[in-house]
Every structure is written in C-alpha cells, then in structure tokens.
Amino acid sequence: MAYNFTEIEKKWQQYWLSNKSFRALDPADAPDMPKAYVLDMFPYPSGSGLHVGHPEGYTATDIYSRYLRMRGYNVLHPMGWDAFGLPAEQHAIKTGQHPRQNTERNIANFRRQIQMLGLSYDWDREVDTTDPSYFKWTQWIFLQLFNSYFDPIDQQARPISHLLQELMNENLVVAPDGTAVLNPTQEGMEAIAGEMRVERLWRELNPEEQRQIINGQRLAYQDEAPVNWCPALGTVLSNEEVIDGRSEVGGYPVEKRPMRQWMLRITAYADRLLADLEGLDWPESLKEMQRNWIGRSVGAEVDFEIDARPADEGASADVIASADASESADPGASAERGDEAITVFTTRPDTLYGATYMVLAPEHPLVDRITAPDRRDAVAAYRGDVSARSDRERMADNKEKTGVFTGAWAVNPVSEQRVPVYIADYVMMGYGTGVIMAVPAHDQRDYEFAVKFDLPIRPVVKPASGEAPQGRAFVDEGIAINSKVIDGMRTDEAKEHITSVLAAEGVARRTVKYKLRDWLFSRQRYWGEPFPIALDERGEAVAVAESELPVLLPEMVDFKPTGTPEPPLSKASDWLVYRSGEKTLRRETNTMPQWAGSCWYYLRYIDPHNNERFVDPVKERYWMPVDLYVGGVEHAVLHLLYSRFWHKVLFDLGHVSTPEPFQRLINQGLILGQTEFHAFKSSDGRLISADELCDAAEAMIGDEPTMMGTHRGTGEKLTGYRVSGEEVEKQGPRFVLKSAPSIAVDARAFKMSKSRGNVMNPDDIVRDHGADCFRLYEMYMGPLEAQKPWNTRDIVGMQRFLASVWRNLSGEADEESKSPAKQTPDSPIDDSLERMMHRTIKKVGEDIAAMRFNTAIAELIKLNNEMTALVSVPRALTETFVLLLAPFAPHLAEELWQRLGHSNSLARAAWPNFDEQKLSESTMELPVQVNGKLRGRVSVARDADEASILAEAENSPSAVEWLRGKTIVKRLYVPGKLVNFVVK
C-alpha cells in the first residue's frame, strides 16, 4: 500500500485534539520538569485566510516545541487571534453585517487551516482579543496606565495614589512651568534637569489646579495635539502607522490636525527600552531598528536671546542677510537685548560659532510673538502654504529648501553677532525644541538653505587631515577653528568644553533628546476595545470602576464613520450615558488601537480562563519570560516596542516578575513569490538587448505589461513583459531568451500579492501533497531568517522523501513502485550504519536547538537514503529514525510509531541519545596540503600524535610527488582537520 497522507494526517490530527496531547501542565503538576514558553506572533484573522508565510514561523516553533517535549520539557505553545482591526470594520460598513460575524467566520477558517498543518498547540488556551472576557483585562491594564505616573527620580511607574500622598506631605512642593510635578528633595530637583523653578507650594494650589497637574502626570493622558488624521479611514493614526505621509493600511493620505486624543507616555521609558535591549537574545539588526526608532541623541540646549531692536529702517531681510554679517561690526549687538530667549537643541555645540541664522518650525508658537510687523503678511502666507501641503507633498519636494524671514533677530551667545530668524518647513515642530541654530558650513540642510537665501557660511571646523569639501557642508568631526573658546580642540573635546562654559553662564544645558514620541492611543473606530473611561462636562477623564469591567461595545447597525472626527460610538446614544454616583457622565467614544490586545496576549495564554486576575502570579512567575518568540520583522518597531513598554509598566507596578517579556526572538524571513522572468521594451517598442543593462524597478499593477524599468545607460523608461522560465537560459552573468540570445531577460522574485497573482494558498498545497510535506518543504527552503523565493517545482523532493520513508519503514509492500515490504528485524546494526545513526542524532538535535531546520532535514534524508539501499532495516535504526523525524513530519512519524508496535503517541516519547564513542572511526582521512593547496590524503589513526601524523603525511605518495626538489619551511597540523606543508 502506498503512503496515503490524507487519511493518516486526518487520523492523527483527530487523535491529538481529542487526547489533548499537547496540553501544557500547570506548575504544580510538573514539579520536576524544566519549562519552555515557545510563542508565535498570533495572526490577524483576515478574510483571505492563511498565507504561506504564516506556516513558516509556525512550523519552526512547532518543531522546536515537539523536540523540547520529547526532551522532557513542560512546553507552553499556544495560539490565538488578534481579531480587532480595520478590515473587519470596513467589511461591516460594506455589508451591514456586524463585524463580529465576519470576525468569527475568519477565526473559524484560520483555526481550520492551522489545525490542518498538525501544529502542536494547546488549544485549551486559545485567546481572542475581541472576546469580552479577554478585553476586560486589556481595559484593566489601561486603567493601570491611567492610574500611574512615571517617577523621574527612580525611573519607574508608580500608582497615582502614591504621588498624591507624597504631594500632601508638608515638605513636598512644587509646580514649575504649570504642568510638571516634581519631587521635592534637592537631589531630586537636580536629577530632573535643574532648569525647573519652584513657583508655588502644592498646598497653595486650588483643587482644580491640583487635579490638572495630577492628570498631566498620568501614563495615559489626554492631549490636544497635532495628530495624523486620515480622512479616508476616518481615524487618527500613530506615527508608526504612517508611512511616507500615507496610512499603512490602505495607503490613504494623512494630514496633521490638532485633536483631543489619548496618549500613552512611552517616552518616559525611552532610556529603559534602550538600555534593556542589551540583555536580549534578539537579532542585532532588530535591536538596531529599535535603537534608531527611540533615537537617543546627546547634545545641548542653547539659549539665543531675541534682539529687540527693530531691523534697520528700509532694508529688506534679504539685503541685511546678504550683507556680510560675520564681518560687519554690529555696534549694538550686546547693548540692547530683549528679555526673551529662543532655545535650540543641537548635537554639535562645537559649531556654535558658525551659527549664522536661526530657523523655527513654521508651527512654532513663538513665531507670532517675534514676527516683525512688516513681515507678518509674508510669514502668514508661508505658514498657510505649509499647512495646506500634506506631509506627503512636503516630502516629495524636499529637494528645494523654502522658508521666510520673520524680521526678528537673535544674538549668537558666543560670537555675540546678530543672526536673522527664519521659519522653514525643514525644521520639525515635533523634535528637539522645534528651533535650530543653523550652521551652514557644517550641516548640509543649513548649507542648502543658506545658499538659496544668500546667508553667510562660516567654517568653524576643519578636517583633521586634508581639505574641507567645496560646494557642500563639511559635516564630519574635525578640529575647531574660528571659535575663540575652543580653537584647536577635537570635536568631542570641543563639545564638552563649550557646553560646560555656557552651562556655567546659564545659557546652555547638556540635554538628551529622543525621536520617540508618546504613543497616540485612540482611534475613531467601532471595532476596538472601548476605553474604561467617562468624561465629565469639562472633558476631564474619570475611570470606570474595575467592578464594571468589561465595558462592552454597544450593539449598533450603522458603523459608518461620521465624516467628522467624532467616532462612530457617539451615535450610540443610550450607551453614552454613564452614571457615577449622582453625576451623569458621557462615555469615551474613542476606541483603542489594534495594538492594545497584542500588547499583552502572551501573558493571558499563561492563565486564559482566570476571571479574578489578568494572570495568576504563581503561574506568571513559572512561565515568564517567553523563551522563544518567532514572527515577522514588520513588527520590529510597533508591536515589539509597545508590548515591551506595557510589560515594563506592569513590572513596575508589581504585576509581572520580569522586566522584559521576550528573551529570545527570531524573525522568519519573507517567502517571496516564484521567480519571474521579464524581457524589456523601450518606449518605441524596441526589445532591450543583452548588451544594454537595464534596471528593473517598481512592479506594476495589472496584467500586461508586468513590470516597469529604467534603462541604466539612458534613463529611458522601459516596460517589461513576462516570459516563461522555459524560454530563458543563462549566458555568462546574465539571462537571455533561448530563441533570441541577444535579448536580455531580468530574473527576480517579488513579494506575494494578489495584484501580481503570485500568491500560494496553503489549502492547495496540503490537499495535493499533505501537511507533512508542506511543513518539510517550507523548512527545507533555506535558513528560517532568510528571505527566499517559493518554488513549486521543489516540493516534489520532500514528497519523494516521505514516500521513501514510508516504503522503508511501514512494512508495507508498494504495488506502484513494485517495492517489496521491508522487514524490521531485531538484528544488530552494521558499524558504519550505526556510526551514521549516532552522528545523525547529534546533528539533528543540535540543528533543532539552533533553529537550523534545513540542514537537520538534509541529515534525515541522508540517513533515509542509506536505509533505501538495505533489504531489511534493523529495528534499532527504524525506531530512532521515526523519533528523529517526529518533530518535522509528525503525522507520518506517529503512524510509523504505531506500526512499530507502540500504543502511545510519540508526542512525549523520549528523544534518542547519541553515544560519543560511536560517532567516529578509529582511523581518519586527513587532507594533505602543500602551500595551502589540496594535494592528497592520508589515513591515520585517530589517536596518533602530531609527529607521527606529520611523518606519515610527508611520506604519502602524493606528498612525496609535490615535495620533490622543494624545501619544507614549515609543517602544520590542525588537529583532526588537515596537514599543510609550506615549501619554497
């Protein structure tokens, strides 16, 4: 009987489910077992079903989990659904069906597809972020954030109640610039910055002021800030969800617009999120991406005082600026200063002497105050222009610098020269102080602006060696020049020195800034977690009592965006009313973003049915941290940063036991579509010959033609036409048409997409080849982390392997291939075969532990090829082989295991051990090199000493031949590896 995967796979999948074969044990039930928490990034159950990329990571963790179970580990390996999200809501708007229905349908489909792959999940722990018993705790965690503040001294979150207590204490004081609340001790003041001023004692503030200050400290707070508003989606988006000025979902334009929104104070954790990356076993590139996203830069804030004197009568800004400001005496520069200062942030305080003008972000609040009367119109016009342009447009034409003079002047604190103040959109309001000191000689952007507006360029750094470049800024480090206080110093010393000098004068401060912004946490959507918050008549937030969680979504039939920033929930009039004591409040109508549910799901898997707590502390201590987390790199700065942040807050508040959630992390590489071949035509229809190289670019949506390209030589636009792989051959370094070898063909693999029509459906693969084969194929494609193209042609290799294993081990004859039934006698095993078996045990075990599944499978294939040559396979080998195969092809392995006479599943059968003694022969073959080139081999005893090995190698026939007439300068023996003679 031939191998019937359909029947076998169904049988064992049912067996595993009904026997709960992969149940993770509670700590009390597994006293002597080591634990392992192996986690997949749970999927969003989309309408299009499983993609072939999902099973890649899932199979990898499955192999790893099955292996660990066989090694005696108590393994937690769960699966669930990240099921809130935009597509379900858009589907609901289109069909009028409640998003829940669509979501449930999609979950059922995903569950079916995942179960057909034979993955060893503990299905009793399945979670669904849209289930009220789940999002009850998402809301609860939000309340923890709402009811906490970040203590800057201890760098950790604490309950708000703690802050109140501290503030009530007689000795504790302070309200500085109106919002910040400070710890009172002297050290505390200094630790924060030293810039804060004590204005009033806490007890002098009225209750309203006190409340505002408290609210301003919460980790979850409301803010009226410019946000990314996407009119097409009818919602605001986080910075992370906006790509090139368009929404990540759908690619719609996004504009800046001030709105009242919920924010999470992730910036408070910037330092810890950065520092704690060190101890994590994550890919270095991914850590680097998080570091870049957090974007810590060390520099200084420097105050430039505004010069209140009016601009010279009748002189236009441009004329003044182009007059040689650096040389012209500025008689009154220090005489008559205004009392207002503009603070800039710079990472290059050593270039301060070269700051010849200043630039404010157009949105900067100071612009109104400083603009000279005769510049008002120009400034207003420019600001109008800027705000009318979307971020997208702003980025598209960022080649050409724009800006206008405000008519205001400031004084460079070191050179004492007057510098003009401009506004320009190349300065961002959101970073630093929203103002820069422009140093055109040493910053390329400032240089371009200075050239365009004819502003002075003053070099203050020279290269340590060589000449400064012409026609552009010298941006590297070097030696300070033309800078009285720091002349001759290296850039690093100069930075230090000038900052201390200015700090002593009180006009500068050492400062650290981050690119990371607070997390915009509200969305104008229906299908998300409602906030456990109600608002009073002033819009101040009041937490819903914990006992009232979960706050359910109101049942609605109309999910359409209102067309205004008012969320759909505002249409649920009954639901809106919330009574707190005597007061009637209005519920918060925003909902949480999709990231909320995925921020903590790994904790819920630990204790998914607990109605009293989000997770039981004993179980949490047992299972955390996650030992292995596998998922796509697309979550590098979104989910992985957000959940680290939430986890740290929960850690600070004592709800979890580890500072980091995911100890080891691996990114599976993208699976691309099958390689495509394209021939190119120029605009006049001429086919591009192989001699003209062309640069293929930008895949086009549509059927014909299928690609766009650019001629590398002429820059001419080209159109590409798909050619079949059969018609293509390689000539030297390039591909050409077989029928017309002068025509160039481009070969490349694209990301799978519906529009390209290169999407593979897991259902089809499993139906035609079986789950074991599909798993094996995806694992055999290459390293897990690597990006690799799909190639349907190669699947047959794994199919042959499995069928051959069946013929070798099932004890069944196969009519079709006329292979007789093989016996599995209890006879002893031949030495060399035994050696190979032990080597395979070792190699496969090591490879699984290191997640190198492609090479592990290659070893199994090799061992199976050996068995194919045998008439009968000794039982010692068959049993071992089935156990080694089990993590990779579990269905076939279970079936063979049963046929070998075992009545239990091999899910927890013991992984075989290898015998160190039996790995190697008593003799070994060593390569013999002469001058590093392989010239022969010699067989020596494994335990021979170096001298006798060298002697034997030197006397071997091939060595004698190559050494004849030469002088041996050096004899090298690399133990167990090779012998090398260096000769003259």
Which lies closer to RNA via its Cβ, residue 543 or residue 982? 982
Q: Which of 36, 636, 809, 940 binds RNA (CB under 7 A)?
A: 636
User: Is the previous residue joined to 550 through a cis bond, with omega within 30 degrees of 0?
Assistant: yes
DSSP sequence for 926-971: EEEEETTEEEEEEEEETT--HHHHHHHHHHSHHHHHHHTT--EEEE
How far apart are CB 61 and RNA at their closest, in Å?
A: 19
Task: List binders of RNA among 113-142 (CB under 7 A).
Answer: none
CB of 697 to RNA, least distance (A): 7
- Kindly state whether residue 817 participates in binding RNA, applying the rule CB under 7 A: yes
Contacts of 176 (CB under 8 A, 6+ apart): 182, 196, 197, 198, 199
Interface residues for RNA in 681-700 (CB under 7 A)? 695
Determine the Cα–Cα distance for residues 577 and 596; give it in Å rounded to an integer. Answer: 25
Q: Is 287 helix (H, G, I), strand (E, B) or coil?
A: helix
Q: State the nearest-atom distance from the C-beta of 793 to RNA, in Å.
A: 4
Whether the CB-CB separation of 746 and 26 falls below 8 Å is answered with no
Asked if 714 touches RNA (CB under 7 A), the answer is no
Burial of 341 (0-12, 13-18, 19+ CB in 10 A): middle
User: Residues 728-767 vs RNA: string with x where CB under 7 A?
Assistant: --x-----------------x--x----------------
Residue 935 lies near RNA (rule: CB under 7 A): yes
Q: Which two tokens stand for residue 135?
A: 């999002």
Q: How far is the CB of 734 from RNA (least distance, A)?
A: 10
Q: Which stretch binds RNA (CB under 7 A): 7-15, 260-268, 775-783, 938-946?
A: 775-783
Q: Select from 78-86, 160-168, 398-406, 577-585 the region that touches RNA (CB under 7 A).
A: 398-406
Q: Within a 10 A sphere around the Cβ of 143, how many other Cβ atoms?
A: 18
Minimal distance in Å, beta carbon 646 to RNA? 20
* Shortest Cβ 943–RNA spacing (Å): 18
For RNA, the binding residues in 504-523 under the rule CB under 7 A are 513, 515
Does 974 sit near RNA (CB under 7 A)?
A: yes
Residue placing its CB nearer to RNA in the complex, 268 or 781? 781
Residue 909 or 928 with smaller CB distance to RNA: 928
* Residue from 72, 76, 8, 84 nearest 43 by CA: 84
The nearer residue to RNA, 275 or 796, going by C-beta atoms, is 796
464, burial (CB in 10 Å: exposed 0-12, middle 13-18, buried 19+): exposed
Q: How near is the Cβ of 913 to RNA at its closest, in Å?
A: 17
Candidates 781, 836, 883, 959: give the one binding RNA (CB under 7 A). 781
If the CB atoms of residues 268 and 745 are measured against RNA, the closer one turns out to be 745
Q: Counting Cβ atoms within 10 Å, is residue 165 exposed (0-12), middle (13-18) or buried (19+)?
A: exposed
Omega into 705 within 30° of 0, i.e. cis? yes
List the one residue from 816, 826, 916, 943 that touches RNA (CB under 7 A). Answer: 816
In 167-254, the DSSP E strands lie at: 220-230, 235-237, 242-243, 246-247
Cα 272 to chain centroid, rounded: 17
Tell me the two tokens of residue 465: 């060696």
Is residue 486 within 8 A of residue 205, CB to CB? The reply is no
- Name the minimum Å distance from CB 982 to RNA: 4
Q: Which is nearer to RNA, 292 or 564 (CB)?
A: 292
Q: Is 625 in the site for RNA (CB under 7 A)?
A: no
Q: Are 306 and 513 in contact (CB under 8 A)?
A: no
Candidate residues 445, 510, 835, 875; the one interacting with RNA per rule CB under 7 A? 445
109/44 Cα distance (integer angstroms): 12
Q: Which of 401, 571, 648, 822 binds RNA (CB under 7 A)?
A: 401
Nearest residue (CB) to RNA, 297 versus 610 = 297
Chain positions 782 to 801 lying near RNA, rule: CB under 7 A, are 782-783, 786-789, 791, 793-794, 796-798, 800-801
Which residues in the 530-589 window bind RNA by CB under 7 A?
none
Residue 477 contacts residue 490 (beta carbons within 8 Å) = yes
634 binds RNA per the rule CB under 7 A: yes
| 865 contacts RNA (rule: CB under 7 A) | yes
What distances in angstroms separate CA 43 from CA 82, 176, 282, 771, one per listed residue? 6, 46, 21, 19
Q: What is the C-alpha separation between 421 and 372, in angstroms, rounded?
A: 11
Q: Which one of 149-157, 460-468, 814-822, 906-914 is the stretch in contact with RNA (CB under 7 A)?
A: 814-822
Q: Is 925 in the site for RNA (CB under 7 A)?
A: yes
Which residue, 696 or 876, is less far from RNA as judged by CB?
696
Buried b (16+ CB within 10 A) or exposed e, 414-442: bbebbbbbbbbbbbebebbbbbbbbbbbb
How far is Cα 649 from Cα 656, in angstroms, rounded to an integer?
A: 9
Whether 743 and 736 have beta carbons less than 8 Å apart is answered as yes
Binding of RNA by 402 (CB under 7 A): yes
120, 139, 594, 804: residue in contact with RNA (rule CB under 7 A): 804
- The footprint of RNA on residues 317-346 (CB under 7 A) is 345-346
Q: Choose which of 432, 456, 459, 762 interacts with RNA (CB under 7 A).
A: 432
* Residue 19 binds RNA (CB under 7 A): no
Spatial distance between the Cα atoms of 138 and 280, rounded to a whole number of angstroms: 26
Which one, 60 or 541, has the nearer CB to RNA?
A: 60
φ, ψ of residue 865 in degrees (nearest 5): -60, -35
Q: Which is nearer to RNA, 739 or 817 (CB)?
A: 817
CB of 369 to RNA, least distance (A): 19
**Helix 5-19 to helix 890-899 angle, to the nearest 10 degrees?**
90
Q: How many residues bind RNA (CB under 7 A)?
A: 97
| Smaller CB separation from RNA, 309 or 971 | 971
Output 535 or 638, the one with its CB closest to RNA: 638
Q: Which residues pair with 306 in a beta bridge?
A: 410
Among 576, 633, 759, 813, binds RNA (CB under 7 A): 633
Give the nearer residue to RNA in terms of CB position, either 217 or 406.
Answer: 406
Contacts of residue 585, Cβ cutoff 8 Å, sequence gap at least 6: 534, 535, 536, 542, 577, 578, 579
Sheet containing strand 235-237, edge to edge, reads 235-237, 220-230, 255-264, 519-520
Least distance in angstroms from the C-beta of 695 to RNA: 5
Residue from 260, 309, 394, 681 touching RNA (CB under 7 A): that is 394
Rounded to 5 degrees, φ, ψ at 739 are -75, -25
Q: How far is the CB of 794 from RNA (least distance, A)?
A: 5
- Please state, in angstroms and rounded to a whole number, the distance separating the CA atoms of residues 108 and 493: 64
Taking the complex as a whole, how short is the minimal distance between the CB of residue 624 and RNA, in angstroms? 28
Among 934, 947, 960, 968, binds RNA (CB under 7 A): 934
By CB under 7 A, name the one of 854, 872, 900, 908 that touches RNA: 854
- By CB under 7 A, the residues from 276 to 315 that bind RNA are 284-285, 288-289, 292-293, 295, 297, 299
Binding mask 213-242 for RNA (x = CB under 7 A): --------------------------xx--
Give the binding range for RNA (CB under 7 A) out of 133-141, 523-531, 765-773, 973-981.
973-981
CB contact at 8 A, 875 and 837: no
Shortest CB 675 distance to RNA, Å: 7
End-to-end CA distance of the chain: 66
When the beta carbons of 97 and 819 are compared against RNA, the nearer one is 819
Q: Would you tell me how many other CB atoms lie within 10 Å of the CB of residue 492?
A: 10
Region of residue 522 (left: phi > 0; alpha: psi -120 to 50; beta: else): beta
